[in-house]
Amino acid sequence: MLRDAVRSLAEAKIAPHAAAVDEEARFPREALDALTANDLHAVHVPEEYGGAGADALATVIVIEEVARVCASSSLIPAVNKLGSLPVILSGSEALKKKYMAPLAKGEAMFSYCLSEPDAGSDAAGMKTRAVRDGDFWVLNGVKRWITNAGESEFYTVMAVTDPEKRSKGISAFVVEKSDPGVSFGAPEKKLGIKGSPTREVYLDNVRIPADRMIGEEGTGFATAMKTLDHTRITIAAQALGIAQGALDYAKGYVKERKQFGKPIADFQGVQFMLADMAMKIEAARQLTYAAAAKSERNDSDLTFQGAAAKCFASDVAMEVTTDAVQLLGGYGYTRDYPVERMMRDAKITQIYEGTNQVQRIVMARNLP
Ligand SMILES: Cc1cc2nc3c(=O)[nH]c(=O)nc-3n(C[C@H](O)[C@H](O)[C@H](O)COP(=O)(O)OP(=O)(O)OC[C@H]3O[C@@H](n4cnc5c(N)ncnc54)[C@H](O)[C@@H]3O)c2cc1C
């Protein structure tokens, strides 16, 4: 029922704008409005904080169905979870009450600020500093590649509170867009997910009350990594949705397109490609849903499963979207058809929330 409801909404209210959002590289406002009106913009927020209380699998299905028509728009529910999960996992009761209610109501979005210009895969090498000043912390630094920066009201920011201790000297904070000293860089000009703004976040003597720290001092990096264990599954879902959208489009096209006097779907060479695409998608779906169940139960092998789901599903999305372009021939290579957008959008799923090389490092360190 949830899938049917989200699919209908996505096809009616999000799909019609997907090409323009990409072409104009603009924020998918129509998608945000439609998702918010149907309480699908941040489904993961627990009911006790005013949210829809969707479990990890339901959240995955929402993201998958939105990504099937518009990958940029699927980053609204996905990044709302990424940005706010540190607070849900490690924040005080007061922080949860304060920040989850506006998120659940659709009054505010949440972004996640881990990466920096010189600290990507080696996130613990970050330089952003937080220095204690009485009942306040003062933050200085640059966060890079922040999804939905400028659109979000709230930001989970990881910053160094003790430079001697590397990852154990990093703490997490909630920073608000309206805090004096917060500003944003120009939107990055990207290959894909062009509707999702990616900008730098500048922190210039941002003075915030001490109770905005998420969890204990020095636990920010652990919280950031624990968050990714759960949210990599949402990127797997995004990849899955993009791949399914490409397969669905190609499936329809090959029945219509005629060469050598018959639909190209009649050629076994084309059929074998479609079979492989569907097989890979189904394998990615099973792995992703199993990982979502593990996320919900907080199983001990979640770190491996989350990395495996993200890595596998994103590699599948890249292969399947590339094959979809192939099945449309020259037409697939043009912006008159959606599959080239899907191929460009798929690429990012192999890069963010840790590149797929990093996922393989994570898996190797946590072999089942
Ligand atoms: C569109 C977009 C949105 C993003 N959104 C966010 C966000 O909202 N919040 C956030 O905090 N970050 C975000 N990111 C950042 C993203 O997570 C990083 O780009 C990613 O982790 C890689 O870091 P990097 O770009 O610095 O690449 P690098 O770390 O410089 O890596 C370059 C290459 O080296 C490889 N490499 C590095 N180390 C190793 C190793 N030990 N072994 C093998 N290979 C290695 C990488 O896999 C990669 O192929 C986003 C990025 C993009 C492009």
Which pair of tokens denotes residue 281? 């998608």
Query: Does the beta carbon of 235 lie inside 6 Å of ligand 1?
Result: no
User: What per-residue confidence (pLDDT) applies to 353?
Assistant: 98
Nearest by Cα to 181 from 201, 203, 199, 159: 203
Q: Which residues are catalytic?
A: 353
Phi, then psi, of 155 in degrees rounded to 5: -135, 125
198 in contact with ligand 1, CB cutoff 6 A: yes
**Which positions ≥6 away from 128 have C-beta within 8 Å?**
116, 139, 140, 141, 142, 143, 157, 158, 159, 160, 203
10-residue block means of pLDDT along the chain (368 residues)?
Answer: 98 98 98 98 97 98 98 98 98 98 98 98 98 98 98 98 97 98 98 98 98 98 98 98 98 98 98 98 98 98 98 98 98 98 98 98 97
pLDDT at residue 319 in the model: 98
Question: Whose Cα sits closest to atom 38 in ligand 1?
Answer: 121
Which residue is closest in CA terms to ligand 1's atom 16? 352
CA–CA separation, 121 vs 209, rounded Å?
Answer: 30
Q: Ligand 1 centroid vs 356 CA: distance in angstroms?
A: 9
How far is ligand 1, taken at its centre, from the CA of residue 32, in Å?
A: 26
- Going from the Cα of 76 to the center of ligand 1, the distance in angstroms, rounded, reads 20
> Can you give the pLDDT at residue 61?
98
Query: Measuring from atom 50 of ligand 1, which residue has the nearest CA?
Result: 145
Of all protein residues, the one whose alpha carbon is nearest to atom 14 of ligand 1 is 145
Nearest to 3 by CA among 194, 233, 244: 244
**pLDDT tens digit string along 45-73?**
999 999 999 999 999 999 999 999 999 99
Pocket of ligand 1 contains residue 114 by CB under 6 Å: yes
User: What would the DSSP string read from start to end of 267-303?
Assistant: SHHHHHHHHHHHHHHHHHHHHHHHHHHHHHHT-TTHH
Whether residue 147 has its Cβ less than 6 Å from ligand 1: yes
Q: Which amino acid is at 313?
A: A
**Does the beta carbon of 311 lie inside 6 Å of ligand 1?**
no
Q: Does 304 contact ligand 1 (Cβ within 6 A)?
A: no
219 lines ligand 1 (CB under 6 A): no
Question: What is the distance in A from the centroid of ligand 1 to the CA of 323?
Answer: 25
CA of 168 to the centre of ligand 1 (A): 21
Please identify, by atom number, the ligand 1 atom nearest to the C-alpha of residue 111.
8
- Overall size of the chain counted in residues: 368
In the three-class reduction of DSSP (H, G, I as helix; E, B as strand; rest coil), residue 183 is classed as strand
> Is the CB of residue 184 less than 8 Å from the CB of residue 198?
no
267 CA from centroid of ligand 1 (Å)? 41
SS3 at position 154: strand
* pLDDT at residue 80, as a whole number: 98
Taken in order of first residue, the domains within the chain and their CATH numbers are 2-105 (1.10.540.10), 110-217 (2.40.110.10), 222-365 (1.20.140.10)
